[in-house]
């Protein structure tokens, strides 16, 4: 599946539920009812879009430090090790996502854990396992950026 293969149902699913995701025991059933299909169709569409790399996850975004602890981290990874180190970092359940940047610090990631002690443990473990220092960039001032936006369909 690629973006050109999206039908109206996929578009409504992605555009319609970036905000006000149903908070109930069967949210995908509630979404299906609003879209006029069944729950399995919604789950199948999301699964196929995830498998195709078109979406990475469906889940909540919590305000920093309201639930647990988190930090932004950066590493200077030799280019020939970037894929290896990024895969190692991504293997941690505490890592939300990581990404490459064109900068001296070329691998960045967000880490969230139940408490600050676990955040520190994971950062130390990543540094130890890779042999590369990890720069910890804890939040100093929070800004809210609304990441929900209408998708541009061509």
Take residue 145 and report the two structure tokens written for it.
């950026």
pLDDT: is 74 or 147 the higher one? 74
Domain count, the chain: 2
Q: What is the pTM of this model?
A: 0.61
Residue 127's pLDDT band (cuts 50, 70, 90):
very high
In a domain, 59, yes or no: no
- pLDDT score of 152: 64
> Is residue 131 scored above 90 in pLDDT?
yes
The tokens for 14 are 């992605």
Tell me how many helices (H) and strands (E) the chain has.
5, 4
6 pLDDT above the threshold of 70? no
Which pLDDT belongs to residue 21? Answer: 86
- Here the CATH number for the domain that contains residue 86 is 3.30.70.3460
107 lies in a domain?
yes
């Amino acid at each position: 599946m690629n973006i050109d293969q999206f039908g109206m149902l996929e578009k409504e699913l992605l555009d319609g539920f970036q905000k006000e995701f149903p908070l109930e025991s069967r949210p995908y059933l509630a979404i299906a009812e609003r879209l006029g299909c069944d729950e399995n169709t919604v789950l199948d569409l999301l699964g196929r879009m995830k498998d195709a790399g078109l979406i990475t996850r469906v889940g909540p975004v919590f305000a920093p430090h309201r639930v647990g602890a988190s930090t932004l981290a950066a590493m200077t990874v030799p280019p020939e090790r970037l894929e290896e180190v990024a895969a190692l970092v991504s293997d941690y359940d505490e890592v939300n996502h990581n990404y490459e940047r064109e900068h001296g610090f070329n691998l960045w990631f967000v880490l969230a854990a139940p408490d600050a002690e676990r955040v520190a443990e994971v950062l130390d473990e990543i540094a130890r396992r890779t042999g590369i220092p990890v720069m910890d960039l804890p939040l100093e001032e929070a800004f809210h950026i609304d990441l929900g936006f209408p998708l541009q369909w061509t």
